Amino acid sequence: MSVEKAQQGDLESLQARFEMLQARLNAAKIAYMNSASLDDRQITYEDVKAIAEELIQSNYALQRARYGKVRLKLSAAKLLRRGR
């Protein structure tokens, strides 16, 4: 297996994790706003913030793998405000 194929596989797994966390954050935000449960428990602001911080770490890992450095800084506050 060449280095490019190994790196491509790593990028794909990082991208898949990032997309999964994006969907999880959206679901958590909706559950929090509607006072609904997610994974059979009530969602609190701290839960949503923890998911946002995990998403940020995943995004930074993806950026480092893709570009060699973090080019776009994210914050939990901006992710929680964002409509999408």
Give exposure, 18-47, as e/b (b: 16+ Cβ within 10 Å).
Answer: beebbebbebbbebbeeeeebeeeebeeeb
Q: Which residue has the tokens 């060699």?
A: 68
Tens of pLDDT, residue by residue over 29-80, are: 999 999 999 989 999 999 999 999 999 999 999 999 999 999 989 999 888 8
pLDDT reading at 8 higher than 90 = no
Amino acid letter for position 84: R
What pLDDT score does 5 carry?
A: 59
